[in-house]
Amino acid sequence: MKLLVTGGAGYIGSVMTKQLVEAGHEVTVMDNFTKGHHQAVQSQVRIVESDLLDPQRLKEVLSEGYTGVLHFAALSLVGESVTQPERYYRNNVVGTLNLLDAMRENGVKRLVFSSTAAVYGAPEGIPILETSPTRPTNPYGGSKLAVDQMLGFEAEAHGLAAVSLRYFNVAGASGDIGELHNPETHLIPLVLQAAAGKRESVQIYGTDYATPDGTAIRDYIHVEDLARAHTIAFEHAQAGRHTIYNLGNGKGFSVREVIETARRVTGKPIKAIESERRVGDPPVLVASSEKVQRELGWQPQKPELSTMIADAWNWMQTHPQGYTS
């Protein structure tokens, strides 16, 4: 298949691109490189350095005849979205609208979209189902929910085959591709930076949650398992339908458990400092992934937290400078 991967130079998109290339597909990556890395993209992949906010370029590219699009490009810093909501809605919603226009104009009718657990806000019940109420507590989650809703209407009106995958906490690395965000806000890379001596310590945001050890609980999913789910979802997408799936392991780990596991995996004494809660963080986010398992037959192959941390640690050690381009 000939596929367009937006945001394919970012963390998850580059793992997706690698898997697609390994499966023999022809891939074009479109990325504006505000966050992405050239080195994360396989050498045989065509890179179009362009922005989703350039509708003309999107139309030109999509006129080249694609089977479908895997759409990862987005801004995704929760804190930044609170202070700059307009930027998040423009990039994530208007960018996706431009993409849908270009797809429609060129008869490209298949899309998998990166949605997020952030659409659920602070959930009423755990595990979180796809039918749980969506009440995002920040503009990032709001922008993703707006796209999820838009896709439902677009599928109905124009026959698009669309799938939204609502990821929980993505972690790990895939061989020579790893996680390098700047700034980094995610727990596991920060913990490993402390293990590697790149930072003195890691902060534990909140020790007074109503959880067994007082720290917040999250559902971590290996980036390879996540990317594999996209391929299955893409193949099963049905014309005129928009389907939503949660993607997690259905099992939660606390911040202290993550740090403890990282100490064991790395053999390093990682210094942790107990701090205040981070504003807007829900105490527990754990997915029910029953629907994706039942309907698509997806199963995580790397469900262990220690495997995710070991793969991320291995990447960090083999790439001490991260990506250089």
Ligand X SMILES: O=c1ccn([C@@H]2O[C@H](COP(=O)(O)OP(=O)(O)O[C@H]3O[C@H](CO)[C@H](O)[C@H](O)[C@H]3O)[C@@H](O)[C@H]2O)c(=O)[nH]1
Ligand Y SMILES: NC(=O)c1ccc[n+]([C@@H]2O[C@H](COP(=O)([O-])OP(=O)(O)OC[C@H]3O[C@@H](n4cnc5c(N)ncnc54)[C@H](O)[C@@H]3O)[C@@H](O)[C@H]2O)c1
Window contacting ligand X (CB under 6 A); options: 123-131, 201-209, 291-299, 302-310: 201-209
Q: What is the H or E stretch that residue 161 is in?
A: strand 161-167
One-letter amino acid at 225 equals: D
User: Which of ligand X, ligand Y, none lies near 36, with the C-beta cut-off 5 to 8 A by kind?
Assistant: ligand Y
Which residues are CB-contacts of 93 (< 8 A; sequence separation ≥ 6)?
143, 146, 147, 150
Using CB atoms within 10 A of its CB, is residue 274 exposed (0-12), middle (13-18) or buried (19+)? middle
Closest approach, Cβ 207 to ligand Y, in A, equals 23
Residues annotated as catalytic are 140
116 binds ligand X (CB under 6 A): yes
CB atoms < 10 A from the CB of 15, how many? 28
Measured CA angle at 121 (ends 208, 288), to 5 deg: 90
Task: Please give the structure tokens belonging to residue 205.
Answer: 């945001």
DSSP states along 162-176 = EEEEEE-EEE--BTT
CB atoms < 10 A from the CB of 301, how many? 10
The answer to whether the beta carbons of residues 225 and 165 sit under 8 Å apart is no
Closest approach, Cβ 269 to ligand Y, in A, equals 27
Closest approach, Cβ 203 to ligand X, in A, equals 5
Decide whether 28 or 164 has the Cβ nearer to ligand X. Answer: 164
Q: Which residues bind ligand Y (CB under 6 A)?
A: 7, 9-13, 31-36, 51-53, 72-76, 91, 95, 114, 116, 167, 169-170, 181
- Contacting ligand X (CB under 6 A), which of 281, 307, 314, 319? 281
Decide whether 33 or 104 has the Cβ nearer to ligand Y. Answer: 33
Decide whether 47 or 272 has the Cβ nearer to ligand X. Answer: 272
- Contacting ligand X (CB under 6 A), which of 278, 279, 299, 306? 278
| Closest residue to ligand Y, based on beta-carbon distance | 10
Sheet containing 217-218: which strands, arranged edge to edge?
253-254, 217-218, 284-285
The answer to whether the beta carbons of residues 313 and 266 sit under 8 Å apart is yes
Window contacting ligand X (CB under 6 A); options: 3-11, 67-75, 102-110, 116-124: 116-124
User: Which of ligand Y, ligand X, none lies near 218, with the C-beta cut-off 5 to 8 A by kind?
Assistant: ligand X
Residues 56-95 contacting ligand X, CB under 6 A: 76
202 binds ligand X (CB under 6 A): yes
128 binds ligand X (CB under 6 A): no
